[in-house]
Amino acid sequence: MIAQDLYKETLLEHYRHPKNRCDGPIQDADAVERGANPRCGDEIEIGIFLQDENIRHVQFRGRGCAICIASASMLTEAVAGLSVAGTRILCEQMHDWFGDIEPAAGALLPNGLQALAAVRQHPARQKCVLLSWEALADAIDKAGRE
Amino acid sequence: MIAQDLYKETLLEHYRHPKNRCDGPIQDADAVERGANPRCGDEIEIGIFLQDENIRHVQFRGRGCAICIASASMLTEAVAGLSVAGTRILCEQMHDWFGDIEPAAGALLPNGLQALAAVRQHPARQKCVLLSWEALADAIDKAGRE
Amino acid sequence: MSLAVQPIDDSETINPEAVRRDFPIFSGSTQPRRFHYLDHAATTPKPSAVINSISDCYAQCYAPIHRGLYPMAEQATSNYEHARRTLQHFIGAASPDELVFTRSATEAINMVASGWLKPRLERGDVVWVSRMEHHSNYLPWQLVCQEQQAQLRFIELTEDGQLDLDGTPELFAERTKFIAITHVSNVLGTENPVATLCTTAREYGIPVLVDAAQSVSHIELDVAEMCCDFLAFSAHKMFGPTGIGLLYGRQERLAEMAPLQVGGGMVDSVGDGMEESRWAAIPARFEAGSPDMPGAVGFAAAADYLSSLGHERVHRHIVSLTRLAAQRLMRIDGIRLLPHAGLPASGIVSFTHHNMHPHDMAQIAGEAGVAIRAGHHCAQPLLRRLGLTATARASFSVYNDESDIDALIDAIISAQRVFCE
Amino acid sequence: MSLAVQPIDDSETINPEAVRRDFPIFSGSTQPRRFHYLDHAATTPKPSAVINSISDCYAQCYAPIHRGLYPMAEQATSNYEHARRTLQHFIGAASPDELVFTRSATEAINMVASGWLKPRLERGDVVWVSRMEHHSNYLPWQLVCQEQQAQLRFIELTEDGQLDLDGTPELFAERTKFIAITHVSNVLGTENPVATLCTTAREYGIPVLVDAAQSVSHIELDVAEMCCDFLAFSAHKMFGPTGIGLLYGRQERLAEMAPLQVGGGMVDSVGDGMEESRWAAIPARFEAGSPDMPGAVGFAAAADYLSSLGHERVHRHIVSLTRLAAQRLMRIDGIRLLPHAGLPASGIVSFTHHNMHPHDMAQIAGEAGVAIRAGHHCAQPLLRRLGLTATARASFSVYNDESDIDALIDAIISAQRVFCE
Ligand SMILES: Cc1ncc(COP(=O)(O)O)c(C=O)c1O
Ligand SMILES: Cc1ncc(COP(=O)(O)O)c(C=O)c1O
């Protein structure tokens, strides 16, 4: 009844049963990067597994609030199979949507990420969404450099 | 009509025709001391002429607003003939009255200084009254030391 | 001794409902349902007496301070200085010259760290803070220690969240140059024995700054009794306006302090180019720029308001309410209180849940009209030591009552339903 | 380009009587007769729009900023950041991140002097200010020069009170590390060619801080066009609240600046003891302590109010009134205007009388309900150069009219009667 706004059922489902989450260290990934929000203590590690120019698979590890965990879990599903270039663009779009730079663009969120849209109404929580996406962008950069 | 409050006729009389004012340097005094209010640029020099333990005569020199000049002029009349010790006490009383430390004591002002009492209502002008009295206290100290 | 206003009502206990009516924010139409504000440790709502005193300044007697010669400027100046004297009596200071209006507690602490301590702190010296300091009473000392190659050390805590003074034998050692300590912790609610600490420190000649940001709203302060050298707090946590705070400093200490900011109003004579300038007397020396007269007047109105409620009664009401909240929270499965032993000694209760992130609890509570805080509360060194990165925190004030606790408990239980199904 | 609010009334000229009604201080019963306020260079009265915006914050939407997760905290944060964006448009800044809320213009200037310049200033370097600076845009530079053994030098003035740029050939020399200059003088009313100066300085790679304290109330500011690196002003001189001001800094410059104050809200991660702490992003890094949200909202309301009057119209009204005042003052025997040539270019006219001390003129005027200022106006270096220790100053605003000038002239004439009989 309450909390309908922010905690959509899909989001809660991802929080309760996160996809592609590791309990221990992420192994054999092409690149692993970590993001931390010192303000609330959340920490997310993202590992990417590449195949040619595509993201084959993503794993994450870490702790955080429901939005943080759900965003990471959704991320692993949203980008699996995308091209590296396409993923990079998606990372940028997420940054612009949730950083309030492109407010109008929210409607263009891929289906699997729609449940996050409500977070845009809560500026204080935007960083919770973006933590994993920033780590993903860093991981792609790292993989590209190696 | 206006300015009745502050600029009593006695005060204005002292301003227009100051007593014991020198145009040039004060000469042959037992001690000369200077007071300055950097906030409004007023400067007063007080010279004392002693006879045994008494103030025989006081001269002043300087520039300032009407209150500053009138206070210095009244000072020269008020303390001429007083004992050094009595003058010291009067300096302290002036400090306490106009520095708002002894508000009730204003009524005890010697007759010749009554015209200054209204200044107590204007805290911003208190320093104008006190400038010459502080210089006088310094001059007494100086004479005592020499 | 404080010349505080007498309580208007001399009954033993507070009537929260009556007090609540003094605060327009609780009667506004902006709240869909009753607004359960439990974030007083962050900032407090304002009573009409304070709001109106500020508007009245602007609407009726507004002019520059310490400079104008026309009647309204004289009146404005006198109102400003009257506010200083009200606060002087409020904290039991010996002279109004010992009170400096600052922007905030934070600014007050920065002024002491860089204006008093820095010129005196040498390589190898030690500055002590407690493990439970707010960043505002921590970072200024950390910075000055870094700049002077001195050492910043912690008074650690015991299991039940008290200062571990027994475990800190070097506190009064020779190299100790300063101690900065909070009166009440903004996370644990612990009240520290500042009077004892300051008295001992004075015997060793070590100055102490007391951060009273969290105590001023419910503990009567008396700087003479407390024996502190410096004391800092903000108006906005004691029903006063934002943007203004206070630094108390013993006259002798303030005389030794260099100004953090320079500019109009704090100088007697200004030299050309490299010729020296001479600072004004204390406290003007520390109030560079145009003074915030309406802020000061609102600050004094808040002090009068608090005094009229009566510190004793306020304290008793807040503590008993917070204890009740703690007892009821403890009974919820998965909730853990901080510190792990003992009941709250002031108006603050912090807690975590083994299955819910504090942010999620606070968000759900917020949507149910219960305002609690989640995060590190600007106390990262403390949270790190507790092995946490965030807690939820409820903090109570004089108009709160059991219905606020009911709402809090309900909110936590519905959060559980959402997240722990 | 500024996205300023459109003037509500598009006639060419201001209706002073109508504007005056926006200001409750002029309708109060506290004034025995009409109150002729001519001390706007010191501080300005506030329109109801500003007073109410502040009360409304306290009475309707008050909560901590940047921290709470409940709806009112989110709304309060959004109001605070909205105020920042209003001011961003008001001064034509590229991004809201270039605006730091400070306590005042004075604080803003201190922040730049000690946070940006000090770490970069070396022995023998030169910092330039003009001869007409307010102490607040003078002492911070003097202090930093003393600390770093650099030199503070003056751009002197010509006879008619303009910057003597021709007489300052070394202004852009290699050792010049910084220039700080006022946009409009608070004593002479001179408007300095800041855009030209900043543009040339940028070619030489020399940063410039513009003190807009006196211009912001009647000249439309555009930092992009002005080409300044830093700009500072206070809300209280432009119809806004006391206790809040603004520092604008080009993003690149702010990124290089160290914070003057440290504490809650300006830090991302805090290290234990001597372990390093990491500052938050800009502009939070420069706003240590609880933000003054109602102050910021009132500040933005003042900017909107000014924009609705229209800078052009305000400026025209003020300048023509001030010129008229100057012409009428000049005709009084014994009165001398500053500067000694030229008519006022803004809202300020300073004068002396060969037989009356400025304090005495101001006192008599004040008793007649005319508020003018007497003193050194926090500009001792200027007054010393002019061979004066004090002047009388009348400064006009948008609701003043000829009747205020009549009252001023009458007051000076009665002062003459008192003192020069
Ligand atoms: C030109 C100028 N600069 C700076 C200031 C300082 O402003 P504030 O006292 O609000 O910091 C003033 C006014 O006092 C001024 O006139
Ligand atoms: C214990 C403590 N000290 C200092 C502060 C800083 O107060 P302010 O932000 O008003 O400067 C706070 C609150 O933020 C606090 O809780």
Q: How far apart are CA D186 and CA D341, in angstroms?
A: 17
At B1 the pLDDT is: 36
Look at residue C305 and tell me whether its pLDDT is greater than 60.
yes
Contact A30, A143 (CB under 8 A): yes
Tell me which of C39-48, C65-74, D188-197, D315-324 is least confident: C65-74
Decide which of 3.90.1150.10, 1.10.287.70, 3.40.50.720, 3.40.50.300 is the CATH code for D16-37+311-419. Answer: 3.90.1150.10
At C5 the pLDDT is: 55
D358 contacts: CB under 8 Å, gap ≥ 6:
B65, D352, D374, D375, D390, D391, D392
Look at residue B5 and tell me whether its pLDDT is greater than 80.
no
User: How do residues B92-121 score in pLDDT, each as one tens digit?
Assistant: 989 888 876 666 666 677 888 888 888 888
C290 C-alpha to center of ligand 1: Å? 7
Q: How confident is the model at residue C1 (pLDDT cuts 50, 70, 90)?
A: very low
One-letter identity of residue D253: R
Find the CATH number of the domain harbouring B119. 3.90.1010.10
CA atoms within 13 A on the CB side of D323: 10
Structural tokens at position D362: 């101001």
Tell me which of B13-22, C29-38, D104-113, D394-403 is least confident: C29-38
Contact C160, C342 (CB under 8 A): yes
* Annotated domain spans of chain C: 16-37+311-419, 54-308
Q: Do D375 and B5 touch (CB under 8 A)?
A: no
At A118 the pLDDT is: 84
| Min Cα–Cα distance to chain D from C271, Å | 7
Q: Enumerate residue ranges in chain D where pLDDT < 70.
A: 1-10, 28-33, 340-341
Q: Which residues of C touch A (CB under 8 A)?
A: 357-360, 363-364, 367-368, 374-376, 380, 383, 388-390, 414-415, 418-419, 421
| Min Cα–Cα distance to chain A from D69, Å | 7
Compute φ and ψ for C320, nearest 5 degrees.
-70, -35
Question: What average pLDDT does the segment A42-53 reach?
Answer: 94
B-chain residue closest to D357, CA distance: B65
User: Across chain C, what does the average pLDDT equal?
Assistant: 94
Percent of chain A predicted with pLDDT > 70: 90
| Min Cα–Cα distance to chain A from C31, Å | 16
Contact D127, D112 (CB under 8 A): no
Report which DSSP code applies to D421.
Answer: -
Q: How confident is the model at residue C341 (pLDDT cuts 50, 70, 90)?
A: low
Burial class (CB in 10 A: 0-12, 13-18, 19+), C328: middle
At A104 the pLDDT is: 65
* Catalytic residue ranges of D: 378
At D165 the pLDDT is: 96
Ligand nearest to the CA of C134: 2
At D7 the pLDDT is: 54
* Catalytic residue ranges of C: 378
Partners for B (CB, 8 Å, 3+ pairs)? Answer: C, D
Q: How far apart are CA C139 and CA C149, in angstroms?
A: 15
Structural tokens at position C87: 């606060």
Q: How far apart are CA B129 and CA B121, in angstroms?
A: 12
A18 contacts: CB under 8 Å, gap ≥ 6:
A60, A69, A70, A72, A73
State the pTM of this model: 0.94
Q: Do C390 and A128 touch (CB under 8 A)?
A: no
A127 C-alpha to center of ligand 2: Å? 24
Look at residue B128 and tell me whether its pLDDT is greater than 50.
yes
Q: How confident is the model at residue C419 (pLDDT cuts 50, 70, 90)?
A: confident
What was the ipTM of the complex prediction?
0.93
Ligand nearest to the CA of D136: 1
Whether B3 and chain C come into contact, CB under 8 Å, resolves to no
Tell me which of A142-146, B90-94, C67-71, C309-313 is least confident: A142-146
B120 C-alpha to center of ligand 1: Å? 29
D90 contacts: CB under 8 Å, gap ≥ 6:
D2, D4, D221, D303, D307
D-chain residue closest to B36, CA distance: D389
User: How do residues C86-119 score in pLDDT, each as one tens digit?
Assistant: 999 999 999 999 999 999 999 999 999 999 999 9
Question: What average pLDDT does the segment C229-237 reach?
Answer: 98
At A2 the pLDDT is: 44
Closest C-alpha to D335, from D214, D419, D396: D419
At C343 the pLDDT is: 82
Distances, alpha carbon C131 to alpha carbons A6, C152, D273, in Å: 35, 11, 10
At D153 the pLDDT is: 97
At B39 the pLDDT is: 75
Residue showing tokens 């021709």: D166
Whether A107 and chain D come into contact, CB under 8 Å, resolves to no
Q: How confident is the model at residue B2 (pLDDT cuts 50, 70, 90)?
A: very low
Q: Coil, helix or strand for D212?
A: coil
Domain limits at A74?
A: 3-145
At D11 the pLDDT is: 73
At C66 the pLDDT is: 87
Which one of C378, C382, C391 would you pick to mutate in the ligand 2 pocket, going by the greatest count of ligand atoms within 8 A of its CB? C378
Contact list, A125 vs chain D (CB under 8 Å): 69
Compute φ and ψ for D244, nearest 5 degrees.
-145, 145
User: How do residues C277-302 score in pLDDT, each as one tens digit?
Assistant: 999 999 999 999 999 999 999 999 99
Look at residue C176 and tell me whether its pLDDT is greater than 70.
yes
For chain A, what is the domain count? 1
D390 C-alpha to center of ligand 1: Å? 18
Question: What average pLDDT does the segment C300-315 reach?
Answer: 96
Decide which of 3.40.50.2300, 3.30.70.20, 3.40.640.10, 3.30.1490.190 is the CATH code for C54-308. Answer: 3.40.640.10
Distances, alpha carbon C213 to alpha carbons C236, C242, D140, D274, in Å: 9, 13, 29, 25
